[in-house]
Amino acid sequence: MKTAERIRSLREDKDLTQTEIAEYLNTSQTVYSRYERNERSLPIEMLYELCDFYNVSADYILGRTDNPKTNK
């Protein structure tokens, strides 16, 4: 699963809108939508924020593992 698909799935699992996540990330809904459509690369700073928000590892969001938990 690609990063774009993963962040969309995480958002939908929490019943959140793109606007709500965009506000959390301090960006616009349009920009965030482009991340979910894989039209823009997700900046590393936003990756960190999403990991904290969803309580998942960066490897999970990046599709490197199917285990969402961090190795803490």
Domain limits, the chain: 3-61
Q: What is the pLDDT confidence band of residue 12, given thresholds at 50, 70 and 90?
A: very high
Tell me what pLDDT residue 69 has: 84
Q: What is the CATH number of domain 3-61?
A: 1.10.260.40
Tell me what pLDDT residue 71 has: 59
Q: 71: which DSSP letter?
A: -
From the list 3, 55, 56, the residue with the least C-alpha distance to 32 is 3
Would you say 10 and 1 are in contact if contact means Cβ atoms under 8 Å apart?
no
pLDDT digits 0-9 by tens, 19-64: 999 999 999 999 999 999 999 999 999 999 999 999 999 999 999 9
* 72 vs 9: CA distance, rounded Å: 23
Find tokens 């599709």 and name the residue.
Answer: 63
Is the full-model pTM beyond 0.75? yes
Would you say 65 and 36 are in contact if contact means Cβ atoms under 8 Å apart?
no
